[in-house]
Amino acid sequence: MALADPKKVLIVDDSKMMRVLLARVVKSDASFEVAGEAENGQAALDCLAETAIDLVLLDIEMPVMDGVEALRQIRLKHNVKVIIVSSLAQVASVQAAEVKQIGVDGIVDKPGGAIDPSLADKKGQQLITLMHEVTARQ
């Protein structure tokens, strides 16, 4: 049986270091591939207009266009799964409630790692698990 093509992932975060870390997490699972990176919501929308993407990993706090507004625009224009990856989106936060209302597919805390690499690995595994759950939904 042939393996399915990997799901194409767009990483959206204003921090280059976080984009590198998230790309490493995505690349750790052969079911996914990094198809693009963007440093803000507007750049993400530009990328979505040009590239077929299956899943967006979206930060909330970014310049130019934040993740909440980007999610609104994505929901209006694109049929793509979106996971918020943000330290602001804890389960009971205002931001989490807002993105849930807009229709986010999942929310996960950012993987850290500068202080504790094992924590980054654990959070990375949580993200991969959520990516599989979200992309499996119709």
For residue range 92-109, list pLDDT tens digits in order: 677 777 888 888 998 887
Cα 88 to Cα 79: distance, rounded to the nearest angstrom: 25
Residue among 136, 66, 15 nearest 84 (CA)? 66
The predicted pLDDT at position 47 comes to 95
What the block records as the tokens of 87 is 């330290």
In this prediction the pTM is 0.88
Residue 21 in tokens: 């870390």
Query: Looking at the predicted structure, is the pLDDT value of residue 116 above 60?
Result: no
Residue-averaged pLDDT of the chain: 85
CATH annotation of 7-136: 3.40.50.2300
Q: Give the confidence band of 35 by pLDDT, cuts at 50, 70, 90.
A: very high
DSSP H/E element including 36: strand 32-38
Closest to 55 measured CA to CA, from 137, 138, 134: 134
pLDDT digits (tens, 9 = 90+) for 50-60: 999 999 999 98
